[in-house]
Amino acid sequence: MKKGIFSGLIAVTAIMLIGVIMLTSSANIKNSGSENIAQGIWEIKKEWNNARYLLDKATTDALADSANTGPCTFALDAAKVQHYYMDTIAHIPGCTQAFTVAATAQAGNYQATGTITCSKKISNDFSIKKFEKPAVFTKTVSVQKDMPAAGDCTVIITDAQSGLVEISRVV
Amino acid sequence: MYGENKTGKGFVFSTDAALGIIVVLIAAASMTMLYAPDSSWQKIFQSTSRSMADSAVVGFYMNKVPADMGLETEIPAAVKQGYCGRIYDYNADNGAPGIQSAPMDRNYCGGI
């Protein structure tokens, strides 16, 4: 047998061993990074959902507060809705909103349409992930005077998408 | 050296090769430690905190308090590492006409 063949075989084995270790380590690092990114994306979507929930409730709140208690009438106050949106979204850093609210063809129905965008810097990745999706809130507003002359004015806000009465308030 | 004949020449592998193997093994061990992924504790906490985060979201949207979901409002003192999921709630019907309700944070915390 030629001299040095075993040393040569061992050298080749050693190189292969180093290669396998490097590939395994690299795969582990990539796997760990993927988990962090997945967790980050989950967090962004969680915040987007929370922002959507808050803006939905803010729509109801703003519409209820737009009722004119004296004559017991309702007129959409778009500026008030926007103001409520701005104050609400400020509670969730990293999320922004762009909504417009208008009356729909169906009497008493008001619809807010727009987009919620949430972004977050993912740890161990150093990139900013963004999640943007449109949202629609449709509410039915009803104001009624229990007694025509001097009775109380009742404001009822119903979520048109779920049919749930969200506010039934005597104002 | 094992495998050497009386003349000192290797017939299986030489002393240099044996030293080479030792060096490679030390290098391999060092690299494995250097590039090792997260420790097992971190893995366990990452998995547990993910589970707690899921419970927090489900609990919030099902209108459950933290205790209903096996969680607490603050990180328990007796844990090694804690997690808190903060979700904002909004009570539109606060009974104060003309005044905007303020979103309130609800914490779902836990730890191991």
pLDDT tens across A95-151, in order?
999 999 999 988 889 999 999 999 988 766 677 889 999 999 999 999 988 765 556
A91 in contact with chain B, both atoms CB, cutoff 8 A: yes
Both structure tokens of A2 = 């030629």
Mean pLDDT rounded to a whole number for chain A: 86
Say what the pLDDT of residue B69 is: 92
Q: Is B97 in contact with A64 (Cβ distance < 8 A)?
A: yes
* DSSP-derived 3-state class of residue A55: helix
Task: Provide, as residue numbers in chain B, all residues whose Cβ is less than 8 Å from the Cβ of A21.
Answer: 28, 31-32
B10 in contact with chain A, both atoms CB, cutoff 8 A: yes
Distance from CA of B2 to the nearest CA of A (A): 14
Both structure tokens of A95 = 């999320």
Contacts 24+ apart (CB under 8 A), B74-82: B74/B107, B74/B109, B75/B109, B75/B110, B75/B111, B76/B109, B76/B110, B76/B111, B79/B110, B79/B111, B79/B112, B80/B111, B80/B112, B81/B45, B81/B111, B81/B112, B82/B109, B82/B110, B82/B111
Say what the pLDDT of residue A18 is: 79
* DSSP-derived 3-state class of residue B73: coil
Say what the pLDDT of residue A9 is: 79
* CA dist., res. A169 & res. A156, Å (int): 6
Q: Mean pLDDT, to the nearest integer, of A7-32?
A: 76
A60 in contact with chain B, both atoms CB, cutoff 8 A: yes
A23 in contact with chain B, both atoms CB, cutoff 8 A: no
Q: Is A54 in contact with B87 (Cβ distance < 8 A)?
A: no
Q: Mean pLDDT, to the nearest integer, of A82-90?
A: 95
Say what the pLDDT of residue A100 is: 94
User: Domain spans of chain A?
Assistant: 5-170
A-B Cβ pairs (cutoff 8 Å, strict): 105
Residues lower than pLDDT 70 in chain B: 1-14, 35-39, 95
Q: Mean pLDDT, to the nearest integer, of A77-94?
A: 93
ipTM of the complex: 0.79
Q: Is A18 in contact with B103 (Cβ distance < 8 A)?
A: no
Residues 6+ apart with CB under 8 A from A100: A78, A112, A113, A114
Say what the pLDDT of residue A159 is: 95
Q: Is A28 in contact with B36 (Cβ distance < 8 A)?
A: yes
Distance from CA of B56 to the nearest CA of A (A): 10
* C-beta separation of B68 from B59 below 8 A: yes
DSSP per-residue string spanning A128-152 = EEEEEEEEEEEEEEEEEESSTTT--
pLDDT tens across B74-85, in order?
999 988 889 999
Say what the pLDDT of residue B13 is: 59
Q: Is B38 in contact with A22 (Cβ distance < 8 A)?
A: no
**At residue A84, what are phi and psi to the nearest 5 degrees?**
-65, -40
